[in-house]
Amino acid sequence: MGQPGYDRFSAHDGTSLAYRVNGHGIPVVLLHGYTLTSTINFATHYRDQGSGQLVAAAGPTIESALVGAGFQVVMLDSRGHGHSGRPHDRDCYSLEMCADDVRALVAHLGVDRAALAGYSVGARNSCHLLPDTWFSGAALCGIHSRTVEGQYPEFGT
């Protein structure tokens, strides 16, 4: 499975941040969890190979479900994660800096209104952004895309 292409922009402190936009419609900004990437969290389907060993496989993802439902998906690799820059100063990873990165991405893309969805630390950052005027008032916090095919047969997965 190939890696999707990412675009870049510079955050307020000059850090290069990677993001990806897919689909058309109302934007949904997806914020991944700590030590993960937007691709791992939202754009990869996993299958259990047995004994709990997970492998990436073809199948539905949070990204594909949202795009299929007519939304535009905006995925940001947070600073220090994935394809984004890794500042060495620990002060560059504060909650406010991470929230400012999302604000900068929304401004960079010219988004007036968007929904937010975050997993783990992404959920924490989403909650910090709720008062922002561009936020549409629809948030999913704590979602996770690593439900594994075959893991819960009683639910049809």
CATH value at residue 71: 3.40.50.1820
Residue 111 in domain: yes
What would the pLDDT profile of 83-107 be if each residue is shown by its tens digit?
Answer: 999 999 999 989 899 999 999 999 9
Q: Please tell me the distance from the alpha carbon of residue 122 to that of residue 152, in angstroms, as a whole number.
A: 25
> Total domain count for the chain?
1
Percent of the chain at pLDDT above 70?
Answer: 84
Phi-psi region at 69: left, alpha or beta (left = phi > 0; alpha = psi -120 to 50):
alpha
Backbone φ and ψ for 54, nearest 5 degrees, come out as -95, 140
Q: Please tell me the distance from the alpha carbon of residue 24 to that of residue 74, in angstroms, as a whole number.
A: 10
Determine the residue type at 66.
L
Concatenate the DSSP letters of all residues of 102-157 into one string. Answer: HHHHHHHHT-SSEEEEE-THHHHHHHHHTTSTTEEEEEEES----PPBTS-GGGT-
Determine the residue type at 36.
L
In the predicted structure, residue 150 carries a pLDDT above the cut 90: no
Residue 94 in domain: yes
Residue pair 9/76 in contact (Cβ under 8 Å)? The answer is no
Cβ neighbours of residue 110 closer than 8 Å, sequence gap 6 or more: none
In the predicted structure, residue 1 carries a pLDDT above the cut 90: no
Residue 4 in domain: no
pTM: 0.82
Residue 91 in domain: yes
What would the pLDDT profile of 14-32 be if each residue is shown by its tens digit?
Answer: 999 999 999 999 999 999 9
Q: Please tell me the distance from the alpha carbon of residue 91 to that of residue 72, in angstroms, as a whole number.
A: 32
Residue 125 in domain: yes
pLDDT of residue 37: 87
Confidence band for 139, pLDDT divided at 50, 70 and 90? low
Residue pair 15/83 in contact (Cβ under 8 Å)? The answer is no
Residue 106 in domain: yes
Residue 121 in domain: yes
Antiparallel, parallel or unpaired: β 45-48 and 54-57: antiparallel
Residue 42 in domain: yes
Query: Could you list the residue range(s) of the whole structural domain that residue 109 is in?
Result: 10-149
Confidence band for 128, pLDDT divided at 50, 70 and 90? confident
Q: Please tell me the distance from the alpha carbon of residue 95 to that of residue 25, in angstroms, as a whole number.
A: 29
